[in-house]
Structure 1
Amino acid sequence: MQITFASYNIHKAVGLDRRRDPERILTVLREVNADVVALQEVDRRYGRRMAVLPLDMIQASTDYVPVPMSMKPDSLGWHGNAILVRKGIDLVEAAPVPLPVLEPRGAVRADLMIEGRRLRVVGMHLDLSGLRRRHQVRSILSHCADCAQRVPTVMMGDFNEWTRAGGCFREFDRDWQVLAPGRSFPSRRPMATLDRIIVSSEWDVLGTSVHHSPLSAVGSDHLPVSASLVLPKF
């Protein structure tokens, strides 16, 4: 069973041209063409935390369905984090993952059913502080460990970690593989691998990539990253 996962910090749909253009973001998502997408900065930060990607626009112009996660009626996600799944993928359960924070940060979890297999997806946007990032990763790992059952898991998002293998990535033991698809920030001239995908030991990795197109180069300050994974048969 081959599945493509992607992560994209959409910068509240404000591009390098300073225009808020949700349709441009949705076009980039269609270019990436992943099965499951974790988005960061998908809601406005203040006030009613309104979604910058309107639900009706997502449903009308893509094959995605947002995982219901909002704690606020006008939001798409939780602290700006959201998960989109391709139509036809079944949602088993979903929950926000509280993180130790001083600034608004969060993570979201969705358990999905694809071709009869249950799997878990966690999307996140971690802190700027290195010590706090490590505490946040521990909280996410503890949350998953406390779930009713262990299932193949993919964690992805903007880790805000500039080191390639140290920092918060030290929290992942040998049961996890930290993937670095490539430089994704800043989008115009990428220098840092801030956007990562981390997979549990059940997955085989076919490949990873950074999506660089004319639209993605200006649509946000991050580029989307993706990984093609295979879940072997029982």
Structure 2
Amino acid sequence: MVLIASYNIRKAIAADRRRRPERILEILGEIGADIVLLQEADRRFGQRQSAIPMHMLTEHSPYRAVPYEMRPGSIGWHGNAVLVGPDVEIIRHLPLHLPTLEPRGAVLADVRVRGESLRLVGMHLDLSGLWRRKQARAILSELDHQPDRLPTLLAGDLNEWRSGGCLRDFGQHHMPVALGPSFHARQPVGRLDRMFVSPGIKVLESGVHHSLLARNASDHLPVWARIRIG
């Protein structure tokens, strides 16, 4: 079994409007996932360095970041990052360039967990429904053109408030994972954070991580799924 979480950390800015990356790491410790897909993991301005300082990630968590190396000091690509635990081997990774009017991207990582291969896609899609659908189709096209096929989990903040739209695009060949409302963290009503899985993955459990820390650390709550590959 593999536990995977997805979390829009809002650049580690807590409800008191202060940047508190240590709180994000505490929440990841509460969840205990093998793999975490982050959104808004980089600062918004300046050099757009990681919102979680590199030394803090190394010294205060079991995770290491998949090294996309697109920008010095960043742990991902346009705020999308993949963190893996000690039992996860990184096989291959690449950033995905998305059509957009503002900076957006997605990330792909192939990993091996306890002898099983898994492909991950992390994303944070546009506020515009038209651009969300273009981005979803671009991601699906990238998956179609990969040199091999692996069981695949897609996750992230899709910014989709209603059914249809990009959810329909992803759902044509991937099964949606049953999650609950995760936005806004103080009073969640929106199901903006989503996961999809391809054939070859069985979802055993899934949900939203509710804790006092999580309610105050970001405007999103983390979502998670426990899966079996194969």
Q: Indicate the percent of aligned positions where both proteins have the same amino acid.
A: 50
Report the 3-state secondary structure (helix = DSSP H, G, I; strand = E; otherwise coil) of the residue aligned with 1:29.
helix
Amino acid at match of 2:216: V
| Contact 1:206/1:228 (<8 A) preserved | yes
Cross-structure match for 2:79: 80
Amino acid at match of 1:133: R
| Contact 1:180/1:193 (<8 A) preserved | no
Aligned alpha-carbon RMSD (Å)? 1.0
Cross-structure match for 2:92: 93
> C-alpha deviations, 1:150-209, integer Å up to 9, x for none?
00000000000001x311111135531012410000000001000001100111111111
| Contact 1:152/1:203 (<8 A) preserved | yes
Q: Which piece of structure 1 moves more, 54-63 or 75-84?
A: 54-63
Cross-structure match for 2:61: 62
Amino acid at match of 2:199: S
> C-alpha deviations, 1:1-48, integer Å up to 9, x for none?
x11111000000001111110000000011111111100001112221
Report the 3-state secondary structure (helix = DSSP H, G, I; strand = E; otherwise coil) of the residue aligned with 1:140.
helix
Structure 2: state its 5+ residue gaps. Answer: none
Cα distance between partner residues in 1 of 2:62 and 2:171: 35
Are residue 227 (structure 1) and residue 225 (structure 2) matched? yes
Are residue 11 (structure 1) and residue 10 (structure 2) matched? yes
Cα distance between partner residues in 1 of 2:172 and 2:52: 37
- Count residues with an aligned counterpart: 230
Report the 3-state secondary structure (helix = DSSP H, G, I; strand = E; otherwise coil) of the residue aligned with 2:142.
helix
Cα distance between partner residues in 2 of 1:71 and 1:214: 34
Moved over 4 A (4+): none
| Contact 1:184/1:195 (<8 A) preserved | yes
Q: 1:111: how far off?
A: 0.4
Cα distance between partner residues in 1 of 2:39 and 2:197: 19
Q: 1:116: how far off?
A: 2.5
Cross-structure match for 1:175: 173
Cross-structure match for 1:113: 112
| Contact 2:177/2:196 (<8 A) preserved | yes
Cα distance between partner residues in 2 of 1:46 and 1:216: 24
Which of the numbers 215, 218, 228 marks the counterpart of 1:217?
215
Are residue 204 (structure 1) and residue 207 (structure 2) matched? no
Report the 3-state secondary structure (helix = DSSP H, G, I; strand = E; otherwise coil) of the residue aligned with 2:205.
strand
Structure 1: state its 5+ residue gaps. Answer: none
Cα distance between partner residues in 1 of 2:64 and 2:144: 27
| Contact 2:34/2:87 (<8 A) preserved | no
| Contact 1:210/1:224 (<8 A) preserved | yes
How do 1:134-173 residues align onto structure 2 when only pairs under 5 Å count? 134-163=133-162, 165-173=163-171
Cα distance between partner residues in 2 of 1:230 and 1:3: 6
> C-alpha deviations, 1:103-140, integer Å up to 9, x for none?
11110000001222221000000000011111101111
The alignment's TM-score, normalised by the length of structure 1, stands at 0.95
